[in-house]
């Protein structure tokens, strides 16, 4: 049997900064349930970071699950597929969670789930075919950022020696990656094998936090039974933001990204664990990305669940499936509470990259913003060794040269600084402002 190591000693460098926010992983033990097909879905034409797709269907068209409804040839774009079968009733604009306006295709369900006839396992033979197939699948990083996965794979052969599979999931509440490891460990390892084979990557490291014993056991058992040479599993101390790309490249591979560097510049490829598992499923079935698992949780949700939902289903339909609200919602967040987006309406659709829907009731106490007391908590919390309080005063004085030296440009908006600030300062906005000032100067 090929060697497989479950090692904690494999951690090259531990994260000391960051915060230990309450994890609230109360859904970790809940098996993923499939939601019944909704009455309608609204599928935005932009669920990736590149240009939006243009609708490939018209009002009145009949569509089936997996049929392309949006396509685009530009860089960093991936096609978008129908997630339910039925009739296109509207092609119009919607306001996205980030406030931008985007075209969306509305499909009314026919009550059945008719699959698209044209799907077949892609069976790629070469590296190029593999990357093309991944692009056709419509896959974006399922962890949250919406970066098209095919673009990550488009790297010169031999440049990468380590595939880092991100199963850290350090954001509070979210347990979809944890469930992926527990429910489909075979897909995870198969996906890793595919990526390694086609891209000729020597090593693979699965990184996971030590607060997911179920997922760790499941992956280890899968490897024991199937064998996976060159794959190791490292468990990281449970601390936010262990799963941030820069932090992970350092802790899993011991390499440090200089400002502006990508993981590939230091020979690493970082892919989310659910994303890797999807690649395996897609290569087996040919069914594109039309549904995903989301964790529905938070104190204002009556029955927190992990739910498999069609892309484009409205957030309110998903929450209704979870028993509705148990308290008046104050914020509904897509993604985790540290970096997610607070949506202004529960009628918005669930996107490919949304890993969670979190509903929070109004906090008992809202800290009003007050003067900085220079306590230094933000400085100690910053995993990138920035000094948010200093950067804040630099944004006020507008000193561009000092701002440049401060390193504000590398901020990844993990929000640790704002989380710990006793003065209630909106430091994430401050950092965004600083970055904007830098890019404009």
Q: How far is CA 163 from the centre of its chain?
A: 17
Nearer to other proteins, 86 or 144 (CB): 144
Is 406 a binding residue for other proteins by CB under 8 A? The answer is yes
Between CA 149 and CA 145 the distance in angstroms is 11
Q: Which of residues 320-379 bind other proteins (CB under 8 A)?
A: 320, 324-325, 328-333, 337-346, 358, 360, 363, 365, 367, 370-377, 379
Near other proteins in 251-270, by CB under 8 A: 256-259, 261
Strand partners, 333: 342, 358
CB of 27 to other proteins, least distance (A): 17
Nearer to other proteins, 1 or 367 (CB): 367
Half-sphere exposure of 137 (CA within 13 A, CB side): 35
Select from 413, 416, 441 the least CA-distant residue to 429: 413
> What residues between 65 and 124 interact with other proteins by CB under 8 A?
none
168 binds other proteins (CB under 8 A): no
* Using rule CB under 8 A, residue 296 touches other proteins: no
Of residues 200 and 374, the one with the C-beta less far from other proteins: 374
Please tell me whether residue 44 adopts helix, strand or coil conformation: strand
Which listed range, 34-42, 149-157, 183-191, 381-389, lies at the site for other proteins (CB under 8 A)? 381-389
Which residues in 6-35 contact other proteins (CB under 8 A)?
Answer: 19, 21
The gap between the terminal CA atoms of the chain, to the nearest Å, is 58
Nearer to other proteins, 349 or 383 (CB): 383
DSSP H or E run through 251:
helix 245-253
Q: Which is nearer to other proteins, 319 or 350 (CB)?
A: 319
Backbone φ, ψ for residue 369 (5° rounding): -70, 135
User: What is the dihedral angle through the alpha carbons of 314, 281, 279, 157, rounded to the nearest 10 degrees?
Assistant: -170
Region from 34-42, 198-206, 275-283, 411-419 binding other proteins, contact rule CB under 8 A: 411-419
Kindly report the length of the chain.
441
372 exposure class (CB count in 10 Å sphere: 0-12, 13-18, 19+): middle
Query: What are 11's two structure tokens?
Result: 């951690």
Contact footprint for other proteins (CB under 8 A): 19, 21, 172, 246, 256-259, 261, 316, 319-320, 324-325, 328-333, 337-346, 358, 360, 363, 365, 367, 370-377, 379-380, 383-387, 389-390, 406-407, 410, 413, 415, 418-424, 426, 428-429, 432
């Amino acid at each position: 049997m090929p060697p497989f190591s479950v090692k904690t000693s494999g951690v090259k460098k531990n994260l000391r900064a960051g915060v230990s926010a309450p994890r609230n992983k109360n859904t970790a033990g809940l098996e993923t349930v499939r939601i019944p097909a909704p009455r309608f879905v609204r599928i935005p034409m932009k669920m990736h970071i590149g240009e939006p797709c243009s609708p490939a269907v018209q009002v009145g068209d009949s569509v089936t699950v997996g049929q392309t409804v949006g396509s685009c040839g530009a860089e960093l774009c991936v096609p978008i597929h129908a997630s339910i079968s039925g009739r296109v009733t509207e092609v119009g604009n919607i306001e996205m969670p980030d406030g931008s306006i985007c075209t969306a295709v509305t499909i009314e369900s026919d009550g059945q789930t008719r699959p698209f006839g044209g799907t077949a396992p892609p069976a790629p033979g070469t590296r190029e075919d593999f990357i093309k197939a991944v692009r056709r699948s419509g896959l974006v990083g399922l962890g949250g950022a919406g970066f098209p996965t095919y673009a990550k794979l488009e790297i010169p052969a031999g440049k990468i020696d380590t595939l880092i599979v991100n199963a850290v999931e350090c954001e509070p509440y979210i347990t979809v990656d944890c469930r992926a490891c527990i429910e489909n460990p075979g897909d995870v390892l198969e996906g890793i094998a595919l990526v390694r084979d086609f891209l000729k990557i020597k090593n693979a490291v699965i990184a996971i936090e030590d607060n997911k014993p179920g997922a760790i056991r499941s992956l280890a058992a899968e490897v024991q039974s199937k064998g996976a040479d060159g794959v190791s599993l490292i468990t990281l101390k449970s601390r936010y933001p262990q799963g941030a790309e820069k932090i992970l490249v350092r802790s899993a591979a011991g390499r440090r990204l200089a400002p502006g560097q990508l993981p590939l510049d230091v020979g690493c490829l970082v892919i989310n664990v659910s994303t890797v598992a999807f690649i395996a499923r897609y290569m087996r079935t040919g069914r594109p990305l039309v549904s995903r698992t989301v964790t529905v949780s938070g104190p204002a949700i009556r029955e927190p669940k992990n739910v498999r939902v069609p892309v484009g289903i409205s957030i309110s339909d998903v929450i209704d499936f979870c028993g509705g609200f148990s308290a008046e919602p104050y914020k509904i967040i897509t993604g985790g509470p540290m970096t997610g987006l607070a949506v202004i309406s529960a009628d918005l659709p669930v996107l490919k990259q949304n890993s969670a829907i979190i509903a929070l009731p109004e906090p008992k106490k809202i800290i009003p913003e007050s003067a900085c007391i220079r306590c230094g908590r933000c400085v100690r919390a910053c995993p990138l060794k920035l000094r948010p309080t200093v950067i804040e005063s630099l944004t006020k004085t507008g000193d561009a040269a000092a701002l440049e030296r401060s390193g504000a440009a590398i901020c990844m908006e993990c929000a640790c600084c704002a989380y710990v600030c006793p003065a209630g300062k909106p430091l994430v906005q401050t950092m965004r402002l600083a970055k904007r000032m830098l890019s404009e100067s």
